[in-house]
Amino acid sequence: MESKSAEIAAEQEHFDLARKHRERLRTELSEAPDAAANAGAARWLVGFRRGRRDNLAPPEQEVAFGRVDQESDERYYIGRETILDDQRQVLVVNWKTPVGDLFYQATAEDPRGLTRKRTFSCDGNHILDFEDLVFQQLAQDIEVLEGPDAALLGELDRGRTGSMRDIVATIQAAQHRLIRFPLEHLLVIEGGPGTGKTAVALHRVSWLLYNHQDRLRPRDVLIVGPHPAFTRYIRAVLPGLGDGAVEQVDIDQLAPPVQRGRQEEPEVRRLKGEARMARLLSRALEARIGAPEPAERMLFDGRFLTLPGPEVAAAVAAARESAGPYAVRRQRLRTALATLVRDRGGPLEAERLPPVENLLERLWPLQSAPAFLRALFGSRNRLAAAAAGEFTDEELTLLHRRGADRLSEQVWSAADGPLLDELDDQINGTAGRYRHIVVDEAQDLSPMQLRAIGRRSSTGSLTIVGDLAQSTGAWARDSWEEVTEHLPKTLQVVVAGLRYGYRVPRQVYELAAQLLPLAAPGVEPARVVRDGPEDPGIHVVEPGERAGRATQIARDHLEAHRFVGIVCPAACRAELEFALHANDLPWARADQGGELDHAINLVSPQEAKGLEFDAVVVVEPEEIVAEDPRGHRLLFVALTRTIRYLDVVASGDPLPLESRKDVADRIPRQRKVVEPDPDPTVELSLLDRLAEDLTAMIAGGAPPAMWDEVLHRTAALLDERSGKERPKGRHHRG
Ligand SMILES: Nc1ncnc2c1ncn2[C@@H]1O[C@H](COP(=O)(O)OP(=O)(O)OP(=O)(O)O)[C@@H](O)[C@H]1O
C-alpha cells in the first residue's frame, strides 16, 4: 500500500494543477472583453467578468477541502468553486452541486454510492494531512460516525477573530439537510447556543443561490441581523463563498433613515411593538382625509368654476375605499377631481393646475412618515381618536410625547423605527422585493418588526433563526408560533432543530445549562461535542476589585494572543471602561460602530448575542439577571459566548439561580448624590482604597460619564459595609 506521504504528494500534484487553472481563469477574466455585438453587450460582458473574478477564491486559498470516491471508480474533489482545466475536464467540483451534497450526506448506513470520503487539512494550498472515512469499514462500526471527526475538532479549536468564517469543509449532515432544505418554506432553524444556526443560515443562502439561479439572484436575498456588531461579524462569510452581492442589514435599518438615540422604558417599547399599533396608525392616517365644503369654488384663468360638494365627497369616498396605499389613492382623487373640473368646462390639463392641487391637499394632505408620526404622538386628541377603544388611557399616555420643535431635530427610538416603516408602507407602499429573507436572532423581534420583514418578502420564503432560551428584551418569546404568526402565511412553516453544540466547551456549558430550568424550562439543552482546556474560573471579589480583576484576566488572555470578550452589564460599564483605559489596554466597544477588535471587546449581554470569542469574561451575573425581565436568559447568552475559556467575575452570586426579583432586590440601587457616610463601622482600609480610586480618576482625567457610576459604586460599597450582607458565590480562584 502506498505510504501516506506518497499519497499526500500525489494529492498535492492535483491541488497544484487545479490552482494553476484557477489562476489561468483569473487572468482570462481580467483581460479586456472580446468583441461584442454592441456597446451594451460589451458592458454586460465586462460586468460579468468582473463579478466572476471577484467571486473566485483568493490565490492563497486551498482549491479543495474534500474528495469523494464513488463505487463506479469516479473520484471528485470538493471545493468552494468548480475548477476546469483547459480541456474542460473537471478538477474540482463546487460544494453546492449534487456531488458536493454526497460529501456531506453520505453515512455508513447510507453511503449513497460512495466508497470513501476524504477530508484534507491544508495550510493555504499546501496539503498537511488528510483523513479518510472508508464506508465499508465504517458500516461495521457505526459509532465512529457519531462523534465529531478530527477535521471538525480542528476547525472548532482554531482561534477566533472579529469575523465569522465559513464552515464548508466541515458541515455536518444534520446541518447540511437544513442548508439544502427546499426554498418554498418558512423554515425556522432553532437550536442552543453555538449549534451552528447562523453558519447554516448563511451557507443555505449560498446553496440556494447556486441551485436556484433561474429564480434567485443575490439581489433577491436579504439577511437581517439583530444589531450592527453582528452584521459586521458575519459580513465576510457570503463573499468568501462567492456570493458578495447579498444585502445584509441589522433590523433597525428596515426603516426610513432618521436620527436615532431616544431611550424608552420597556413598557413603551413593548407597546410600540404590538401589532395593534399598525391599526392605530392606519386609523390615524385615514383621519387625515377631509370632507369638502358644500360647494368648492375654483378659479381658472380668471373664470370661476364650482364643484358641488356631494360630487366631490363621492370622489373622496371612492378614492378612500379603493385599494392601495394612501399616496396612490390620493392620486386617484386627483384624477377624479380633474375629471369633475373638465366635465364643467374647465381646462384639460386640470390635474397639474394649482386650484386642483390646493383642493387635493386640503382634502387629502401629502404625508411623510416622520412628520405624521411626530404630529400623532404630539397630540393626545388625535391619539385618542385613532385608538378606537383598542388602547387604554394609560397606554395612550405612554405613547403621547411632545415632538421636537423642528422635524429635523426629532430624535427617534428603536421602537419608533418599525412604526415609521409601517407608516411609510401605508403611505407609499413597500415593494416586496426579496424572494428569500434570512432573519437571525429572530426570537426577540416584536410583531411590528416582523411585519417590517414580512412586507419585504415577495414569496413568503424565509429562513428564521433563533433560540427561545436566548429570547430576552421587551419581546421575549416562549414559542415560535408567537413569531411566525406575524410573518407571511403563504408557505408551509417548518421548525427544525440543530442539537449539537459546537462552540461552547463541555465544562462551560455545564455551568450555563444550570440556568436552563429557570430560563427556558421547555428548551432541550444542546449536546456538546468537545471539552474545553479548563474549568470556568469563578472569581468572587469585593465590588471595588471587580473591574480590576476582569481587566487583569482579559490582559492575561490577550497576552496569550486570544480574542477576548468582556460581557458586562450596563451598571458596571463605566468602571470597566475606566479600568481598561487606566491599564492602557487595546480594546473596542461593539456599540460604537467599531470593528470587533483583534484584542479586547467590551460588549453588553444584549450585544453579545450571536458573537463568540476565544475567551470570555462575564462581569457581575447578578446585575445581568437584574437587567432584563428574562435576566437568566441574558446571563445564559453571556456565559455561552466562549469557544474555549470562561471567567466569571462577581461581587454577588456568580450563578444566581433564584427568581429574578430576588436577585434584583439584593442589588443596591443607584443613588444620585452621595453624602459622606459617617458610619463608624466602615473600615478605614476601604475608605483608603476608595480615596485611592478617586485620586486615580482625578489624576487620569476620567470622562464625566464615568463619575456617576463610580459614585454609585461608592455608595454601594458603603451600604454594604454598613451591614447589608450579600450572598457569596461558591467558587473562588486566584
Ligand atoms: N460544521 C461546523 N464546522 C465547523 N465549525 C462549525 C460548524 N458548525 C458550527 N461551527 C462553528 O460553531 C460556532 C457557532 O456557530 P454559530 O454562531 O452559527 O452558532 P449559533 O447556533 O448561531 O449560535 P448562537 O445561538 O449563539 O447565535 C461558529 O464558530 C461556527 O463557525
Residue of 590, 591, 610, 608 lying closest to 599 (CA atoms): 590
Q: What is the predicted pLDDT for the residue at 662?
A: 87
Model-level pTM? 0.84
Residue 108: band (very low, low, confident or very high) from pLDDT cuts 50, 70, 90: confident
40 is in an annotated binding site: no
Is the CB of residue 242 less than 8 Å from the CB of residue 55?
A: yes
504-536: per-residue pLDDT in tens? 999 999 999 999 999 999 888 999 999 999 999
Quote the longest CA-to-CA distance of the chain: 105
Q: What percent of the chain has pLDDT over 70?
A: 87
198 is in an annotated binding site: yes
- The answer on pLDDT for 492 being more than 70 is yes
Grid cell 410583531 — which residue?
A: 447
Nearest CA to ligand 1 atom 30: 196
Residue 336: HSE in the Cβ half-sphere, 13 Å Cα cutoff: 21
Nearest CA to ligand 1 atom 27: 610
Residues 602, 518, 613, CA angle at the centre, nearest 5°? Answer: 25
Backbone angles phi, psi at 497, to 5 degrees: -110, 150
Nearest CA to ligand 1 atom 9: 196
Q: What is the predicted pLDDT for the residue at 293?
A: 96
State the distance from the centre of ligand 1 to the C-alpha of 171, rounded, in angstroms: 10
Average pLDDT over residues 633-637: 97
Nearest CA to ligand 1 atom 10: 196
Q: What is the predicted pLDDT for the residue at 523?
A: 87
Q: What is the predicted pLDDT for the residue at 664?
A: 85
Which residues sit with their C-beta closer than 6 Å to ligand 1?
152, 155-156, 167, 170-172, 175, 191, 193-199, 467, 470, 502-503, 610, 612
Average pLDDT over residues 26-46: 73
- The answer on pLDDT for 45 being more than 90 is no
Spell out the residues 6+ positions from residue 339 whose beta carbon is closer than 8 angstroms to its own: none
Q: What is the predicted pLDDT for the residue at 161?
A: 78
Which of 170, 179, 502, 643 maximizes ligand 1 atoms within 8 Å of its Cβ, making it the mutation to test the pocket? 502
C-alpha cell at 362: 386640503
Nearest atom in ligand 1 to 170's CA: 3
- The answer on pLDDT for 186 being more than 80 is yes
Say which DSSP state 159 is in: P
Which has the minimum average pLDDT: 51-60, 509-518, 667-676? 667-676
State the distance from the centre of ligand 1 to the C-alpha of 164, rounded, in angstroms: 9
- The answer on pLDDT for 158 being more than 90 is no
Residue of 206, 260, 185 lying closest to 94 (CA atoms): 206
Which of 104, 155, 164, 167 maximizes ligand 1 atoms within 8 Å of its Cβ, making it the mutation to test the pocket? 167
Average pLDDT over residues 200-229: 95
- The answer on pLDDT for 48 being more than 90 is no
339-378: per-residue pLDDT in tens? 999 999 999 999 999 999 999 999 999 999 999 999 999 9
196 is in an annotated binding site: yes
Query: What does the alpha-carbon distance between residue 135 and residue 149 come to, in Å, rounded to a whole number?
Result: 14
Nearest atom in ligand 1 to 175's CA: 1
Q: Which helix or strand (DSSP H or E) is residue 375 part of?
A: helix 369-377
Query: What does the alpha-carbon distance between residue 46 and residue 171 come to, in Å, rounded to a whole number?
Result: 35
C-alpha separations of 377 from 351, 368, 383, 693 in Å: 33, 14, 7, 45
Bigger pLDDT: 682 vs 489:
489
State the distance from the centre of ligand 1 to the C-alpha of 155, rounded, in angstroms: 11
Phi-psi region of 289 (alpha: psi -120 to 50; beta: other; left: phi over 0): beta
- The answer on pLDDT for 707 being more than 60 is no
State the distance from the centre of ligand 1 to the C-alpha of 696, rounded, in angstroms: 42
Q: What is the predicted pLDDT for the residue at 674?
A: 36
Spell out the residues 6+ positions from residue 671 whose beta carbon is closer than 8 angstroms to its own: 711, 712, 715
CA 195 remoteness from chain centre: 16
345 is in an annotated binding site: no
State the distance from the centre of ligand 1 to the C-alpha of 356, rounded, in angstroms: 61
392-418: per-residue pLDDT in tens? 999 999 999 998 989 999 999 999 999
Nearest atom in ligand 1 to 155's CA: 4
Grid cell 478605614 — which residue?
A: 684
State the distance from the centre of ligand 1 to the C-alpha of 108, rounded, in angstroms: 25
C-alpha separations of 305 from 296, 300, 333 in Å: 8, 7, 18
Which of 202, 612, 634, 642 maximizes ligand 1 atoms within 8 Å of its Cβ, making it the mutation to test the pocket? 612
Nearest CA to ligand 1 atom 25: 193
State the distance from the centre of ligand 1 to the C-alpha of 194, rounded, in angstroms: 5
C-alpha cell at 393: 388611557
461-482: per-residue pLDDT in tens? 999 999 999 999 999 999 999 9
489 is in an annotated binding site: no
- The answer on pLDDT for 43 being more than 90 is no
- The answer on pLDDT for 545 being more than 70 is yes
State the distance from the centre of ligand 1 to the C-alpha of 504, rounded, in angstroms: 9
Residue 715: band (very low, low, confident or very high) from pLDDT cuts 50, 70, 90: low
239 is in an annotated binding site: no
644-661: per-residue pLDDT in tens? 999 999 999 999 998 888
Nearest CA to ligand 1 atom 3: 170
Is the CB of residue 249 less than 8 Å from the CB of residue 225?
A: yes
Average pLDDT over residues 533-555: 95
State the distance from the centre of ligand 1 to the C-alpha of 170, rounded, in angstroms: 11
Q: What is the predicted pLDDT for the residue at 716?
A: 59
Residue of 164, 239, 250 lying closest to 209 (CA atoms): 239
CA 623 remoteness from chain centre: 24
Mean pLDDT of the chain: 88
State the distance from the centre of ligand 1 to the C-alpha of 281, rounded, in angstroms: 40
Nearest CA to ligand 1 atom 29: 503
State the distance from the centre of ligand 1 to the C-alpha of 212, rounded, in angstroms: 25
CA 443 remoteness from chain centre: 11
Residue 635: band (very low, low, confident or very high) from pLDDT cuts 50, 70, 90: very high
Backbone angles phi, psi at 434, to 5 degrees: -105, 135
Grid cell 459604586 — which residue?
A: 713
403 is in an annotated binding site: no
Say which DSSP state 245 is in: T
Which of 121, 195, 613 maximizes ligand 1 atoms within 8 Å of its Cβ, making it the mutation to test the pocket? 195
723 is in an annotated binding site: no
Nearest atom in ligand 1 to 466's CA: 25
State the distance from the centre of ligand 1 to the C-alpha of 230, rounded, in angstroms: 13
Average pLDDT over residues 126-135: 90
Three-class SS of 126-141: EEEEEEEEEHHHHHCC
C-alpha cell at 54: 471577484
